[in-house]
Amino acid sequence: MSDPYADLPFEPQEPGRAESHDERVAREVARLRVMEDARRQLARERAGGPASFDAGTLAELLAQPAEPAWRVDGLIPAVAGTLLVAQRKTGKTTLVLNLARCLITGEPFLGRFDVEPVAGRVALLNFEVSGATLARWAYDAGLPADRLFVVNVRGRRNPFGHPDDREALARLLRSQETETVIVDPFGRAYAGASQNDAGEVGEWLTELDTFARAEVGARDIVLAAHAGWNGERTRGSSALEDWADVVMTLTRTQDLRAARYLRAEGRDVELDEDELIYDAPSRTLSLSGAGSRATVANTRRMGDLIAAVIDIVAKRPGITGRAIEAALREAEIPHQKGDHSKALAQAVNDGALDVAPGPRNAKCYTLAPTYPDLPRTHPGGTLSPTPTVPIGDGVGDGVPEVRPTPTPRPTCPDCGEPLTDPGATQRCRPHHQPQGAAA
């Protein structure tokens, strides 16, 4: 063992000279550091984990038994460190529990990504919520009770800051045949002095790797962390994102609906931001395929515009596209140039509106006969028909009621007044006169 006092800022005590207070403190700090290093080294030796390194010629490495390339296909590589960054109150623990369930059961993660299930157990080091709360959430999320091993550390001494506790925890997790270690969250598990110090954080992450893989014998590490003020990057040192093989980012919108979105990037991983769907009874998350926050907002805006356009057509059958645009402006309905044309095209494509040629190459719009009521829009903004309600008490044998649609009376698209003659011109000047009549 090296000299524990070699790096002290003073020479060994001279005979007859009393040590100052600072000298005694420095000497004691050095002694404690040696003891801590010795305990850590002893814990590693007792763990009996894998060798310090994996070495061999390329031929020897290629000859080793092939392992699955992915733990979660296309999202989390095998034997990887995964960082989950989440804005506060976005459902970080819910996402962690969904991942844990899929790792145990092998069901697709988020309803999309195939999973190579663990052979042993998943261990969750819970630093954030009470043990009773986490147990209830995990039960509701359908986690197998005998395959998830939970260590509740909230309100207790941090095992990563005390060598004896760390050794005991490693021994406990090793006895449970732990294959994946999940730490939630970094901010409370971190035992250093500053989360903003890249050197300290990097050293702690290295120790986390050593703890999970060499001392516990696990293969996967998932570390959850809170996002900073902007909700897009981790709070604290960038060393966190440098450490991770994959960074998954969970964000939310700021409106009342507060939808959640997930994106991921890393080694051979590129998941574009997509909206999450949450099933409350089962606490199950899945990707909707609706796209990013900007895409969903634009879809929802277009859905609102389609509903406004259909409302205008219902009140003024036979109205032209140009008159619809004017009506939108008059009603102060937000839209950009050309949006009314897109909304009309979508409404016709969905079967909500019919379009017919008018004079001077104009297009005239009326409600489609199959849409007796105004269509509705779902939260994503995509147009869907108003559901029909079956007639009850056996009348009609449950066949949906279909109401007859009255034929709308033609109106002038410029002023909205009924046309007095079927052959009247579409122009207000001359007003409602048969074709060819004098003004």
What is the model's pLDDT at position 338? 85
Residues 269, 301 share a domain: no
Q: Which of 40-54, 145-159, 267-281, 368-382 has the highest mean pLDDT?
A: 145-159
* CATH code for position 342: 1.10.10.10
3, 91, 216, 249, 322 from 284: Cα distances, Å: 56, 11, 29, 18, 46
H or E element at residue 179: strand 178-184
Checking if the pLDDT of 3 tops 60, the result is no
Report if residue 59 sits inside a domain: no
Determine the average pLDDT of the residues in 302-323: 90
Q: What percent of the chain has pLDDT over 90?
A: 43
User: Is the same domain home to 262 and 345?
Assistant: no
**182 falls in which pLDDT band (50, 70, 90)?**
very high
Number of residues written out for the chain: 439
Other CB atoms within 10 A of residue 101 CB: 24
Q: Within this chain, do residues 317 and 282 fall inside the same structural domain, yes or no?
A: no
| CB 26, CB 10: distance < 8 Å | yes
Across 100-104, 203-207, 262-266, 301-305, least confident range: 301-305
| Cβ proximity of 191 and 161 under 8 Å | yes
Residues 105 and 227 in one domain: yes
3-class DSSP state for residue 72? strand
Backbone phi, psi, residue 389, to 5°: -110, 125
Which of residues 9 and 120 earns the better pLDDT score?
A: 120
Does 85 have pLDDT greater than 60? Answer: yes
258 by Cβ neighbours in 10 Å (0-12 / 13-18 / 19+) ranks as exposed
Check whether residue 366 and residue 218 sit in a common domain: no
Q: Is a pLDDT exceeding 70 seen at residue 371? A: no
- In this prediction, residues 86-92 reach a mean pLDDT of 87
pLDDT band at 210 (very low <50, low <70, confident <90, very high): very high
Same domain (yes/no): 197, 333: no
Averaged pLDDT for residues 243-251: 94
Please give the residue range of the domain that contains residue 176: 69-291
Sheet with 353-357, side-by-side order of all strands: 319-320, 363-367, 353-357
Q: How confident is the model at residue 433 (pLDDT cuts 50, 70, 90)?
A: very low
Q: Is 60 exceeded by the pLDDT of residue 109?
A: yes
Region of residue 58 (left: phi > 0; alpha: psi -120 to 50; beta: else): alpha
Backbone angles phi, psi at 74, to 5 degrees: 80, 0
pLDDT tens profile 116-149: 999 999 999 999 999 999 999 999 999 999 999 9
Rounded to 5 degrees, what are φ and ψ at 419? -80, 135
If you write DSSP's letter for every residue of 80-104 in order, what string do you get?
A: -EEEEEE-TTS-HHHHHHHHHHHHH
pLDDT band at 153 (very low <50, low <70, confident <90, very high): very high
In a domain? residue 79:
yes
Structural domain ending residue among the three candidates 241, 275, 291: 291
pTM for this entry = 0.64
**Residue 187 shares a structural domain with residue 271:** yes
User: In this structure, are 169 and 283 located in the same domain?
Assistant: yes
Q: Do residue 338 and residue 359 come from a single domain?
A: yes
Residue whose tokens read 């003004």: 439
**CATH code of residue 101:** 3.40.50.300
Look at residue 359 and tell me if it is in a domain: yes
Q: What is the CA radius of gyration of the chain?
A: 33
DSSP 8-state class, residue 257: S
What's the pLDDT at 56?
A: 84
**Domains of the chain: total:** 2
Higher pLDDT, 288 or 438: 288
Q: Does the structure show a pLDDT above 90 at 234? A: no
Percentage of the residues of the chain whose pLDDT score is greater than 70:
75
Per-residue CA distances from 70 to 53, 79, 373 (Å): 22, 8, 50
pLDDT, mean of residues 264-277: 91
Is the distance from CB of 85 to CB of 231 less than 8 angstroms?
A: no
372: in domain: yes
| DSSP code, position 396 | G
CA 200-204-210 angle, to 5 degrees, is: 150
Average pLDDT over residues 150-162: 94
Question: Does any domain span residue 315?
Answer: yes
Task: Share the mean pLDDT of the chain.
Answer: 80
CB 292 within 8 A of CB 337: no
User: How far, in Å, CA of 108 to CA of 284, rounded?
Assistant: 11
CA distance 225 to 1: 38
Q: Do 217 and 342 belong to one domain?
A: no
Domain boundary residue, one of 291, 316, 351: 291
Domain membership of residue 92 (yes or no) is yes
Instruction: Fill in the DSSP letter of residue 251.
Output: E
Read off φ and ψ for residue 208, nearest 5 degrees: -65, -40
The residue from 238, 273, 291 where one domain ends is 291
Q: Mean pLDDT highest for which of 118-127, 288-297, 392-401, 426-435?
A: 118-127
Are β-strands 81-86 and 220-226 bridged in parallel, bridged antiparallel, or unpaired? parallel
Return the pLDDT at 438.
41
Residue 391 has pLDDT above 70, yes or no: no
Same domain membership, residue 264 and residue 309: no
pLDDT above 80 (res 359): yes
Which of 409 and 298 is assigned the larger pLDDT?
Answer: 298
**Is the pLDDT at 406 greater than 50, yes or no?**
no
Q: Tell me whether residue 10 is in a domain.
A: no
Beta strands in 319-372 (DSSP E): 319-320, 353-357, 363-367
56-83 confidence digits (pLDDT tens) = 888 888 888 777 789 999 999 999 999 9
The answer as to whether 193 is a domain residue is: yes
CA distance 347 to 250: 34
pLDDT band with cut points at 50, 70 and 90 for residue 394:
very low
Report CA 145 to chain centroid distance, whole Å.
26
In this structure, the answer to whether residues 316 and 386 fall within a common structural domain is yes
